Structure 1
Amino acid sequence: MAKSSADDLELRRACEAAIEGTSQKVVLSIRVAKSRGVWGKTGKIGKGQMAKPRVLAISTKEKAQQTKAFLHVLKYSNGGVLEPAKLYKLKHLSKVEVLTNDPSGCTFMLGFDNLRSQSVAPPQWTMRNIDDRNRLLLYILNICKDVLGRLPKVVGIDVVEMALWAKENTPVAPKKRNIEDGPTTEADVVSESDMKVTVEKELVSQAEEEDMEALLGVYVMGIGEAEAFSERLKRELHALEAANVHAILESEPLVDEVLQGLEAASVCVDDMDEWLGIFNVKLRHMREDIESIETRNNQLEMQSVNNKALIEELDKLLERLRIPSEFAACLTGGSFDEARMLQNIEACEWLTGALRGLEPPILDPSFANIRAVRDKKTELDKLKTTFVRRASEFLRNYFASLVDFMISDKSYFSQRGQLKRPDHADLRFKCRTYARLLQHLKSLDKNCLGPLRKAYCSSLNLLLRREAREFANELRASTKASRNPTVWLEGSTGSNQNVNNADTSTVSEAYAKMLTIFIPLLVDESSFFSHFMCFGVSALAQPGSPANGNKSNEDDLGIMDIDDNDDSNNNNNKSISELGALNESLRDLLDGIQEDFYAVVDWAYKIDPLRCISMHGITERYISGQKADAAGYVRLLLDALEERITAQFTRFVDEACHQIERNERNVRQMGVLSYIPRFATLATRMEQYIQGQSRDLVDQAYIKFIGVMFATLDKIAQTDPKYADIILLENYAAFQNSLYDLANVVPTLAKFYHQASESYEQACTRHISVIIYYQFERLFQFARRIEDLMYTITPEEIPFQLGLSKMDLRKVVKSSLSGVDKHIGAMYKKLQKNLTSEELLPSLWDKCKKEFLDKYESFAQLVAKIYPSETIPSVTEMRDLLATM
């Protein structure tokens, strides 16, 4: 047998060198081949997987009177040196499995219970032979038993077989060596320690082995006794059988008696069998007769039950088909007076129930083709048609008569000197009497409601328009307000300012009163109409809501929906389908009333166009209050009023802009244009009129006004370029002064205020530059020529250029700076001469002196750089001189 790698001392030393520094001692090292298998499906060794050489080393470590065991996996590096690859603690070893798909039995797997990924197949280890495999596994099991006190699960190999192998391969090592045998080598010691397997470390102890041998001996001895016992039993069986035969022969007379008794019983049984056959035939015939009788009896009983049920159903059907005489008389010729309405409602309810009772599923579909049912249904349809026609004709006449009565009585309307709030309480009270009737008419024939709705809308429209017209006429007649002209921004001056300051608040108050009276009225009429005329629209503002002025629940007609079987989805579908019809009816109900509102708006515009701002805010508040209202036409009316007010105000803005543009047609204009301060007055008053959300309307007007003002100012300034900057700076300054307070609170004006400020600064800079150059043109022209040449030549060469010599400098300085105080005084006079706004002179003169000083300082720096030997008045002297001016 080849020497095992477990005896290779060089291999053990290499393993110890690989784990040096771990304080562990290698007790066994052996070469193996590593391959990777698949869980549950391991391939054949050497096929499909590449085997890799590895060394398995078992090491121990003593720590705190406790021994720890480790399994090292070492691999060969590129230089052939062993290096650690894996480290396992043997305390986590849970399974040792010898693979059955390897015929040689040299391949096994070690399972550890602390591996992170159990989905990866553990490596397979293949030994050179069975002896190496047994040696390694036996060593591992012994260490587990000694160190850990337990054994892992062993699969694929018999533990007894392992113990027998250990016993056979345990070398008998001498306990003592004679001194003459020579010194003991390290190899000998290692070999003894490796090969020694003591009885205590065997898997099966000596005591257990003796018990097993004793049991086997007993088992063999038991087999011999069983054969003897079997022979004895056979002999006893033969003896018993012989005794039984003898006893039977002795009891022969008894047997004869039993046989005779059996023969007599057999004759009786045959007779009984014959009688039973006869009785069976008779019973079968009797059974058939009974079944026939029961069948006939069941049929008669079923027929009786069916006849009884049929009679009951026919009685119920006859009860349904009976028309009470009092209901028939009421439906065909009864009166619709208020005192008779209770009988009419009861008749309608009976008719509705009767018609519904003849329709599936209330009536069994099998009854639908019965002639009596068809005839009765036709009769009921005729009753329904007659009643619907009579009721519709009565209601149309009734609505017209109610409205005609109210229109003929002038006390219902506003009169001269007296504003009358429309009151429809009596009208609605009388209409509510027939609300339940309309519900039943809708249930009987939905098509009849269309003409009734048109008749109601046509009649009530006359009343509403008459009320609005009389109220609007008296409202305008009773409102006292001074008329303000629309000429706000034209150039002429006069008494218009005083007129513009007149109080016209009564105009907007009158418009607000018109809306306060009629908008809730129209909303209530729309809501009442929707309920009264049975529109299935659930989005109407509930009576008593803020939109309806917190009134009492006067639109609640006190009735339930007759179609109680409709579920919520059906109601929603009906609501959507009838919303369009409701809006059309509301248009018929309220159409034309907007003209009276327009008349109030136009009247207010003629008195004071700026009151459009107040009316716009009032209208917006009512629009926001009607957002939750389904009185669609009222919302459209408010939107139309807002558009009308916006159009009128836009008209005023356009006319005022036209008045501004007429200023540019004048031949010559100086000083502050007239529309600048007038616009400040206009803006102040517009801010006073803003109510609600009218801010956007006013801001758009500001943008248009100021845009035209600035454009017109530029055109006027361009007519005379000589005085253009003076006109611009004076007017932009006046614009800022007049709008200073408003610009602090109005963002739109603040934007234009900053724009005017920038334009003012630009105009001042241009005008001051013209004045300075007019007095000191030669001086600053000389400086400009020097600056231009400095881009192309050096400063030292400039004095040698034509016209820029030192002599030329002296001439320029003498002509410009001799008597400089006179030049500065002339500059002041010229600035004062063309300026019409005296309050602007101090600030302009300060700007002029500062600008001149800056330019002179630049000139002095150039002279000091180009002509260092020349002397001119210093900047300080010039500053002191300007301070005294």
Structure 2
Amino acid sequence: MTAIKHALQRDIFTPNDERLLGIVNVCKAGKKKKNCFLCATVTTERPVQVKVVKVKKSDKGDFYKRQQTWELRDLTEVDAKDASKENPEFDLHFEKVYRWLASSTAEKNSFISCIWKLNQRYLRKKVEFVNVSSQLLEESVPSGESQSVAGGDEDALDDYQELSTREEQDIESMMEMCEYAVSNAEAFAEQLSRELQVLDGANIQSIMASEKQVNILMQLLDEALGEVDTIEGKLSSYEEMLQSVKEQMDQISQSNRLIQISNTNNGKLLDEIQFLVNYMDLSKGHIRALQEGDLTSPKGIEACINASEALLQCMNVALRPGHEKLMAVTQQQLLFAELRDTFARRLTNHLNNVFVHQVTGMLLWQLTVSSHSVIKGHDQSSTLSQHTAELTLPKHNPLHRDLLRYAKLMEWLKNTHREKYEGLSRTYVDYMSRLYEREIKDFFEVAKIKMAGTTKEAKGKFGKSCDLLACLHGSSGKLTGSTSSLNKLTVQGSNSRRSQSSSLLDMGNMSASDLDVADRTKFDKIFEQVLSELEPLCLAEQDFISKNIIPFSYESLPSPYMVRLMMNKIFQSIETELNSLIALGDKIDSFNSLYMLVKMSHHVWTAENVDPASYLSTTLGNVLVTVKRNFDKCISGQIRQMEEVKISKKSKVGILLFVTGFEEFAELAETIFRNAERRGDLDKAYVKLIRAVFMNVEKVANESQKTPRDVVMMENFHHIFSTLSRLKISCLDAERREAKHKYTDHLQSYVINSLGQPLEKLNHFFEGVEARVAQGVREEEVSYQLAFSKQELRKVIKEYPGKEVKKGLDNLYKKVDKHLCEEESLLQVVWHSMQDEFIRQYKHFEDLIGRCYPGSGITMEFTIQDMLEYFSSIAQSH
């Protein structure tokens, strides 16, 4: 432990101006034993700081390192666990409790004793010691190992030395000789000063008395100087003798220096030769592989890759100054350049042949299929529909797999022959763009046939397709022809398939007699299949380009942009074909824009999650703009159709067609946009459409001549409210409440206006009574007014006996029945509301009679029970 203590003091605490006073070997209680040391230290500078430091051996075990430090003033309690028994466990309470297990009880006790002494000496706030023997705190630490561990006795805690017993006795006797030593300190100090002067004088006299001894000392010094002169003479003679030896040694040293320089130069020359041999020597096997290696077999390709990398390493070696002047180096560089050019030509020609062979083979297969169909009398569209019944694009994984073997060679070609590399890349892009153009065009033609319906009429719209190789070789003149196209395809017979009504669905070509749900579902599947086929095709090609063919001629552009540039060249027809397909779908049925918006948005979102800067996400994003524009045009067209709606002047209005059309549109849209990313676009369209529906319902109601305005408003807003309540479209909650409010208001208005007809004179009479009361006439004096006397009231009441009232109600029911439409079934609702309103008016009349004609005994010719029977019997009879 002493050696450890000295090592810790030397390596850790002395550099930090600290002294190690106590140490104990511990480990954390309850855990695997990872030993460390707790050290009690004080700083050597004032003010003194007392710390407890945790020291641990490094992982390699070759040195100690400070791991954690606590200020002793932060220590609140020391718990020794048991004061009566030997127990190596103890706790130190700082900001949290640290539980330790000492290697021995003696080390623990010594460390706790040291902490106690430091606490008593330096801290005002005393630490609480629990379960510690009082004997351990009061007695000094025993000598030996325990004393060494605890840091020594009290003397080690400071830099002063206590007085010895004799010194204490001398001071006490001196102070006893002077009685006033304690009471008069100044007098005692003066006396001590006088005694000191006496002692100094005695010392000087003693020195003067020793003159004889001084003379003897001076004589001895003179003799010593003589001896020194003798020795210097001998040294001079020795130096003369060694001078000749020095000259000889200098000559030997110069000779050795020259030999050392020669050896150094020879070593450096050998290093240069070894450097050139190691880094500028290409093996015969590599040379053979570069000149005639097989570029078709896996082993041959691997040998060529290794040889090309070795050649590139030799050519790129950093020559040291002067190497370029060596003839051997120049010859090697010429050899490397020749090998590079030879292999670059071989590689470029081979890869060109691979491109032409692979792509031409694919096109020849397509040509064979096309020629076979022509021989049998079929046109190209028939061939397309026959051979691509599943609407799938050809996969080029075998081509990519074959070309990926040359990825490292392409990288080598890029670094060594930029022009050949760019030419090869252009060749790949040119051939692949023609191949993809043919395949994508055929693919979209089939998609359009399926979309328009695979009928003989649709097939008859396609001309015969051209020879595929003519498309590949362009203007070579060997093969010519004209490609078929669906860009001129028109959807015929639309007038026979669609009605020309004024409904909202007429604009969208979606009335019940038009395309049914199966047709829309078929279109949705076709469009989804088109996008699903394009997505892996583009991603596979982009992945291949990124790994094997880096874009050419644009070194200053970022890599993602260059990849997208090549993709644009290869798939230059995709965006055009997609827009053409979208235009066709919109022409077939403008509501297809809903399907296309949802599907396109989903695929754009998926592509952006994979790679936001990819060609696919950019292209689909551009097409999505067109789809969104068609969707907005569809909504605007529907609104325009609402504004242009005309109603018949001879027939009742009923539920307007664009109101039922909105219902069917909302049902369809809710199905399509369920969990869609572009739900916000639909919500905005909903708001535009419903506001247009509201406005045009009011417009039609105002223009209606056959049907009362309140009826038009009541029935249509009741239908709108029912639709919105059923579909629960959250963005239209305010419109749903507004529709309910309008329906209720116009129902009440219609009921009130219609009920004035059966009791018209009675209504006018009591309106006059209420007017007199409003003018200030007292209610009991109204009967004295000539026009509103009791006699006049009886005359009016007699004009409305029960039979007449029932007859008037029957006529009213017939008129209401003529006003209301059957599909909304509001007749009974209106009739019941009229009953309630009639009873309310009846009670109001009775109240006025009671207040204005008290005691007159005047009553109506019929009772409320009579009225209920009238309403019930009339409703049942009809």
Q: TM-score range by the shorter chain?
A: 0.5 to 0.7
> Which residue is equivalent to 1:552?
none
Q: Which residue does 1:725 correspond to in 2?
A: 710
Q: How does 1:735-754 map to 2 (within 5 A)?
A: 735=720, 739=723, 743-747=726-730, 752-754=735-737
Q: CA deviation at 1:533?
A: 1.5
| CA-CA distance at 1:283 after TM superposition | 1.0
Match for 1:509: what amino acid? Answer: K
SS at match of 1:357: coil
Residue number in structure 1 paired with 2:867: 881
Determine which of 593, 616, 619 is the counterpart of 1:637: 619
Q: Give the drift of 1:784.
A: 4.8
Supply the distance in 2 between the matched residues of 1:428 and 1:610 (Cα, whole angstroms): 40
Equivalents in 2 of 1:454, 1:407: separation in Å?
Answer: 19
State the TM-score, normalized to the length of structure 1.
0.57
Could you tell me whether the CA contact under 8 Å between 2:758 and 2:805 is conserved in 1?
yes
1:433 maps to 405
State which of 249, 252, 257 in structure 2 corresponds to 1:298. 257
2:242 to 283, 308, 326: 283
Counterpart CA distance in 2 for 1:367 and 1:858 is 124
Alpha carbons of 1:773 and 1:810: their partners in 2 closer, same or farther (altered >3 Å)?
farther
**What is aligned with 1:837?**
821
Which residue pairs with 2:693 in the alignment? 709
Q: Is the 2:759–2:800 contact (alpha carbons within 8 Å) kept by the matching residues of 1?
A: no
User: Compared with structure 1, are the counterparts of its residues 586 and 415 closer, same or farther at alpha carbon in structure 2 (3 Å cutoff)?
Assistant: same
Residues 403 and 459 in structure 1, CA contact (< 8 A), matched pair in contact too: yes
- Distance, in Å, in 1 between the alignment partners of 2:731 and 2:861 is 45
Amino acid of the residue matched to residue 497 of structure 1?
Answer: A
Q: 1:275 to 1:650 in 2, by over 3 A?
A: closer
Displacement of 1:297: 1.5
CA-atom RMSD, angstroms?
Answer: 5.2
Instruction: Give 2:276's match in structure 1, choosing from 317, 325, 340.
Output: 317
| Aligned 8 A contact 1:481 1:503 in 2 | no
Match of 1:852 among 838, 841, 864: 838
Report the Cα distance in structure 2 between the residues aligned to 1:748 and 1:337, rounded to whole angstroms: 65
* Residues 1:592 and 2:577 are matched in the alignment: no
The residue matched to 2:838 in structure 1 has which SS? Answer: helix
Pair 1:644–1:487, CA change in 2 (3 A): farther
Match of 2:558 among 558, 563, 577: 577
Residue-by-residue CA offset, 1:288-310 (whole Å, 9 max, x unaligned): 43134213322321232222222
Matched, 1:418 2:378: no
Counterparts of 2:579 and 2:173 in 1: how far apart (Å)?
126
Query: What's the CA shift string for 1:316-375, capped at 9, x where partnerless?
Result: 2355445667766876898866585445423421232123312xxxx54x4577566995
SS in 2 for 1:507: helix
1:760 counterpart SS class: helix
Deviations along 1:259-288, one digit per CA (max 9) or x if unpaired, are 9xx99x999998886565333212133224
Q: Does the aligned pair in 1 maintain the 2:653–2:704 contact within 8 Å?
A: no
CA spacing shift, 1:625–1:487, aligned 2, 3 Å: farther
Q: Partners of 1:846 and 1:751 in 2: how far apart?
A: 28
| Aligned 8 A contact 2:710 2:747 in 1 | yes
Per the alignment, residue 3 of structure 2 pairs with none
Aligned residue in 2 for 1:187? none
Match of residue 522, structure 2, among 506, 515, 537 = 506
In 1, distance between residues paired with 2:734 and 2:864? 40
TM-aligned CA deviation for residue 670 of structure 1: 1.0
After the TM superposition, which residues 157-236 of structure 1 pair with which residues of structure 2 at under 5 Å, given as runs? 215-216=177-178
Matches within 5 A, 1:355-374: 355-358=315-318, 363-364=319-320, 366-367=321-322, 370=325
Indicate the SS of the match to 2:646.
Answer: helix
Contact residue 614 and residue 691 of structure 1 kept, 8 A: no
Change (3 A) 1:400 1:707: farther
How far apart are 1:649 and its partner, in Å?
4.5
What is the Cα deviation at residue 786 of structure 1? 5.6
The answer for the alignment partner of 2:308 in structure 1 is 348
Question: What does the per-residue CA deviation read over 1:448-468, in whole Å, with 9 as the maximum and x for residues that have no partner?
Answer: 655544432232122222222
Tell me which of 451, 456, 459 is aligned to 2:431. Answer: 459
Question: CA 1:736/1:831 → structure 2, altered by over 3 Å: closer, same or farther?
Answer: farther
Question: For the structure 1 residues 823 and 525, does the alpha-carbon distance in structure 2 shift closer, same or farther, using more than 3 Å as the test?
Answer: same
Structure 2: distance between partners of 1:458 and 1:495: 45
Verify: 1:762 aligned to 2:772, yes or no: no
CA distance in 2, matches of 1:430, 1:652: 48
Q: What are the superposed Cα offsets for residues 609-653 of structure 1, whole Å, 9 maximum, x if unpaired?
A: 545444444434433433332271212333344444444444544
Aligned position for 1:625: 606
1:728 counterpart letter in structure 2: M
Aligned to 2:754: 771
Residue in structure 1 matched with residue 73 of structure 2 by the alignment: none
User: 2: distance between equivalents of 1:272 and 1:705?
Assistant: 127
1:122-173 deviation digits (Å, cap 9, x = unpaired): xxxxxxxxxxxxxxxxxxxxxxxxxxxxxxxxxxxxxxxxxxxxxxxxxxxx
Q: Please give the alpha-carbon distance, in whole angstroms, between the structure 2 residues aligned to 1:875 and 1:481.
A: 76
Deviations 1:654-676 (A, max 9, x none): 55445444432644441423444
**Distance in 2 between residues matched to 1:213 and 1:502, nearest whole Å:** 125
1:468 aligns with 2:427: no
Residue in 2 aligned with 1:12?
none
Structure 1 residues 873 and 378: CA distance shift in structure 2, 3 A: farther
Partner AA of 1:281 in structure 2 = E
- Distance in 2 (CA, whole Å) between partners of 1:495 and 1:269 is 133
Match of 2:652 in 1: 670
Separation (CA, whole Å) in 1 of partners of 2:433 and 2:447: 21
Letter in 1 for 2:546: S
Matched, 1:519 2:535: yes
Q: Which range moves more in the overlay, 696-705 or 328-337?
A: 328-337
What amino acid does structure 1 have at the position aligned with 2:744? E
Which letter maps to 1:847?
S
1:481–1:506 CA contact under 8 A, matched in 2 = no
Q: Per the alignment, in what secondary structure is the counterpart of residue 311 of structure 2?
A: helix
SS of residue matched to 1:664: coil
Unaligned runs of 5+ in 1: 1-112, 115-209, 249-257, 537-573
Alignment partner of 1:490 is 2:482: no
Residue aligned with 1:497, SS? coil
Kept in 1, the 8 Å contact 2:711–2:746? The answer is yes
8 Å contact 2:782–2:789 — kept in the other structure?
Answer: no
1:438 deviates by 0.9
1:446 and 1:787 map into 2 onto residues whose CA distance is 104
1:723 corresponds to which letter in structure 2? P
Contact 1:489 1:660 in 2 (8 A): no
Q: In the TM superposition, what are the counterparts of 1:19-418 in structure 2 within 5 Å? A: 215-216=177-178, 276-317=235-276, 320-322=279-281, 341-358=301-318, 363-364=319-320, 366-367=321-322, 370=325, 375=330, 379=334, 391-392=347-348, 395-396=351-352, 398-410=354-366, 415-418=384-387
Q: Which amino acid aligns with 2:308?
A: C
What is the rounded CA distance, in whole Å, between the counterparts of 2:176 and 2:642 in structure 1?
137
Alpha carbons of structure 1 residues 437 and 810: separation in structure 2 relative to 1, 3 Å: farther
- Counterpart of 1:577 in structure 2: which amino acid? P
Structure 1: distance between partners of 2:279 and 2:812? 115
Question: Residue 826 of structure 1 aligns with which residue?
Answer: 808
1:670–1:727 CA contact under 8 A, matched in 2:
no
SS in 1 for 2:413: helix
Deviations 1:719-767 (A, max 9, x none): 2467222222233345556x37x72454457665544332222222222
Q: How far apart in 2 are the matches of 1:812 and 1:446?
A: 114
Q: 1:446 to 1:824 in 2, by over 3 A?
A: farther
Deviations 1:212-236 (A, max 9, x none): 997559999xx9xx9xxx9xx99xx
Give CA-to-partner distance per residue, 1:82-139, whole Å, 9 cap, x none: xxxxxxxxxxxxxxxxxxxxxxxxxxxxxxx99xxxxxxxxxxxxxxxxxxxxxxxxx
- 1:538-617 matches, cutoff 5 A: 577-617=558-598
Percentage of pairs with the same residue: 18
CA distance in 1, matches of 2:740, 2:844: 28
